[in-house]
Amino acid sequence: MLLAIDCGNTNTLFAVHDGAQWRAQWRTSTDSTRTADEYAVWLSQLLQLQGLNLDDLSGCVISSVVPQSIFNLRNLARRYIKAEPIVVGEISVDLGVTVNLARPQDAGADRLVNALGCRVQYPGALLIVDSGTATTFDVVSADGAFEGGIIAPGINLSMQALHQAAARLPRIAIEKPQRVLGKDTVGAMQSGVFWGYIDLIDGLVERLKAEYGEPMTVIATGGVTSLFDGAARTIDHYDPDVTIRGLLEVWRRNDPGALSE
């Protein structure tokens, strides 16, 4: 079985694929100081809840935007899975994605994995909206090339900044308000952040589509994507599995004994 790890700035996703389907997925807070042994204890307990154990895992693929975490995640694979992990971003790893940027190395591992994960599922030109710590808008051409995109602050980051910078504004949960017009401080904040963010998504998607000049399918993914379901008019598909699908494809491309469906 394959252990796929997507390490983001805020959360790290662990997922297990048995060759036919995803058996389990878990999220934990990203902590670059967490050791391989600590990961192993945590992971082994969760595997047992699914009737699995560490010995069932035979391979590992890792994507990380937190360089400090790669060392411990790599050691997790080496010590407890007895496998050398495939790490997205290393020169030897083939993603099969052409990067049409002035500095191709600037494209984050997560964005390229998303591009690959969408290409194996959706035809034609694509626009991928990934909402997490940051929200990225990435364009993938019909032939699978990564054309670039936009990086904006994530909705949770925006809410946190509002609370920290204004002494009298409380920390609140992000929810879809029933009204645009806020009748109290909390309602006003929720409306400003939520509907402001929806209009940011719709506005940037429309600008990118107009500039690109070709029909594009818009896919939304990421940890807070469910917040926007039914609110953002420009989103064609909500797909939470884009990243792990991309990691599975990376594994298949780079391991001669890779799992097959």
Per-residue pLDDT of 103-124, as tens digits, reads: 888 888 889 999 999 999 999 9
Q: How far is CA 20 from the centre of its chain?
A: 22
CA distance 43 to 49: 10
Per-residue burial over 80-114, b if 16 or more Cβ lie within 10 Å, else e, is bbebebbbbbeeebebebebeeeeeeebbbbbbbb
Q: How many CB atoms lie within 10 A of CB 54?
A: 16
Q: 148-179, pLDDT tens digit by residue?
A: 999 998 888 877 777 777 767 788 778 888 88
3-state secondary structure of 20: coil
In this prediction, residue 260 carries a pLDDT of: 47
In this prediction, residue 110 carries a pLDDT of: 87
Indicate whether 49 pLDDT > 90.
Answer: yes
Domains for the chain: give ranges and CATH numbers: 2-92 (3.30.420.40), 122-238 (3.30.420.40)
Q: Give pTM, 2 decimals.
A: 0.87
Mean pLDDT of 9-22: 92
Catalytic residues: 110
Q: 196-219, pLDDT tens digit by residue?
A: 999 999 999 999 999 999 999 999
Indicate whether 189 pLDDT > 60.
Answer: yes
In this prediction, residue 120 carries a pLDDT of: 92
